[in-house]
A = this chain, B = another copy of it.
Amino acid sequence: MGNRWPVQATADRLMNATKKKVAHLHEHGCTPHLAVVLVGEDPASKVYVEHKIRACKSLGIHSTFKNLPDNSSTEDLLSAVRELNQNPRVHGILVQLPLPKHIEEQQVIHAIDPSKDVDGFHPINVGLLSLGQEGLFPCTPMGVMELLKDGGIPLKGKHAVIVGRSNIVGKPMAQLLLKEHCTVTILHSRTVNPEALCKQADIVVVAVGRPGLVDASWLKPGAWVVDIGINQITEKADAERLLKASGKKMANFIEKGHQLYGDVNYLSALQVADKVTPVPGGVGKLTIAHLMYNCTLAAERMVST
């Protein structure tokens, strides 16, 4: 029987380290500044943006928020990005994704100055990560690496299985685990017999967007399981299947008609794994902590050049 992974401790460590960096920058007359751009009024996006701005405040990072109307054009967004690129007092630029469908997301990401690209999504940062060179790298995978390093066992030679091959999580996760000398396997929707492959893993990272996909039958005894999925359960059948074992979650579902749930069947996984990150209350705080770190890093690099 495994344990709930104490994610908060790693998030606190990251936030404290960043706080020290910010204090040091303040002493040198620089206040790190994150500019967040949101197009439209999507409620989930607004909540994410609020969390990020609140984290900035807690660390002494200055933040500005630009909310463009839902019917903004790609060109409107591009010119907002260019203005932020040119503003020497802005160190980090974050365009909240997803963008409305009529906007050319790729063009917008390519337009962000790579040295201010605190999400690490610009192709040049993606390339620098793969090459093992200095850049700005995606916040969720970077945060997860900190969590793994806090696990107290050397990562070198461990077999890590990543379930999901997204540009935002799966692929950068593979690069980072390789860099720490893990053997890395990437599984995805076309994989034949993923359970058997996953069962070989010392470390499992799941990011596919399928509620409860990975359960005890996918895991080797003692495995470490990181759940990056955030799914909103709204169907009664899914609730019956996944939430029954947890009275609290089921009660919440019955009351509100929805419940957040990860890609891992948490209670089942705990039967076999050594530790499992919960959802909600899991890796999200690592993502935000690393975003703060990236913004401070961008400011440091701008000051030193």
Complex CA–CA separation, A165 to B190 (angstroms): 23
**Main secondary structure on A side of the interface with B:** mixed
Give which listed residue, B133, B165, B183, contacts A178 with CB less than 8 A: B165
Q: Which partner residue on chain B sits nearest A178 by CB separation? A: B165
Count of chain copies: 2
Complex CA–CA separation, A124 to B114 (angstroms): 11
Give which listed residue, B159, B167, B188, B197, contacts A130 with CB less than 8 A: B167
Q: Which partner residue on chain B sits nearest A135 by CB separation? A: B123
User: Is A184 positioned at the interface, with any CB of B under 8 Å from its CB?
Assistant: yes
CB atoms of B185 and A185 under 8 A apart: yes
Contact with B along A19-45 (1 / 0, CB 8 A): 000000000000000000000000000
Q: Given that A165-B178, A167-B131 are known contacts, is A192 also in contact with B183, CB under 8 Å in the complex?
A: yes
Q: Which partner residue on chain B sits nearest A165 by CB separation? A: B178
**A179 → B minimal CB distance (Å):** 9
CB atoms of A130 and B186 under 8 A apart: no
User: Is A126 positioned at the interface, with any CB of B under 8 Å from its CB?
Assistant: yes
- A123, A156, A186, A190: most-surrounded residue (chain B CB, <10 A): A123
Q: Which partner residue on chain B sits nearest A200 by CB separation? A: B197
User: Is A122 positioned at the interface, with any CB of B under 8 Å from its CB?
Assistant: yes
User: Is A279 positioned at the interface, with any CB of B under 8 Å from its CB?
Assistant: no
**Residues of chain B with a CB closer than 8 A to A135's CB:** 123
User: Is A199 positioned at the interface, with any CB of B under 8 Å from its CB?
Assistant: no
Give which listed residue, B157, B171, B192, contacts A157 with CB less than 8 A: B192
CB atoms of B181 and A184 under 8 A apart: no
- A127, A128, A132, A191: most-surrounded residue (chain B CB, <10 A): A127
Q: Given that A185-B184, A197-B183 are known contacts, is A190 also in contact with B130, CB under 8 Å in the complex?
A: no
**Residues of chain B with a CB closer than 8 A to A277's CB:** none
**Residues of chain B with a CB closer than 8 A to A185's CB:** 183-186
User: Is A58 positioned at the interface, with any CB of B under 8 Å from its CB?
Assistant: no
Q: Would you list 15 pairs from A and B whose C-beta atoms are within 8 A, ordered by A residue?
A: A123-B124, A123-B133, A127-B128, A131-B167, A157-B190, A165-B178, A171-B178, A174-B174, A178-B186, A181-B188, A183-B187, A183-B188, A183-B190, A184-B185, A185-B185
8 pairs of A and B residues whose beta carbons are closest in the complex: A127-B127, A123-B127, A126-B127, A181-B190, A185-B185, A183-B191, A157-B192, A124-B124
